[in-house]
Homo-oligomer: A and B are copies of this chain.
């Protein structure tokens, strides 16, 4: 079990009131949970600005599956030496387009380079890289 600490935060009454209203609208059950989420997001974005940090990434691609070279290239890239593909999910969106989610592990710099290569494949229409810090979440 993680050890829990309790810290005090002082803030203006008006700021607190606005925050309580916002997080109630988002469905939070407690302030601590909402503040923990803010802290985790900041830690995560800080870590992911370091090229050498280990990370997990979910790469989301939309591509035209008629462009037959794509699947080969995707497979090739997933067998890179630097990254380890954990899993992937393939969805048929419509007659033309597929959505593919590829979850992989590696260093931030390598993930970004790989992401660029995936997005630049002819036929890939949109690509997003979701970097997630691996530790200390």
* Copies of this chain per assembly: 4
Q: Are B4 and A120 in contact (CB under 8 A)?
A: no
In the complex, the chain B residue whose C-beta lies closest to that of A37 is B119
Tell me whether B40 and A125 are in contact (CB under 8 A). yes
- Chain B's nearest CB lies how many Å from the CB of A60? 5
Q: Say whether A80 faces chain B, with CB atoms less than 8 Å apart.
A: no
A93: min CB distance to chain B, Å: 6
User: Is A30 an interface residue, CB under 8 A from the partner?
Assistant: yes
* Interface footprint category on A: 35 or more
A19 close to B (CB within 8 Å): yes
Chain A, residues 19-58, CB within 8 Å of chain B (1/0): the string is 1001101111111111111111111101000000000101
Contact residues in B for A120 (Cβ distance below 8 Å): 23, 26-29, 33-34, 37
Q: Determine if A81 is an interface residue (Cβ-Cβ < 8 Å).
A: no
Chain B contacts of A72 at CB under 8 A?
Answer: none
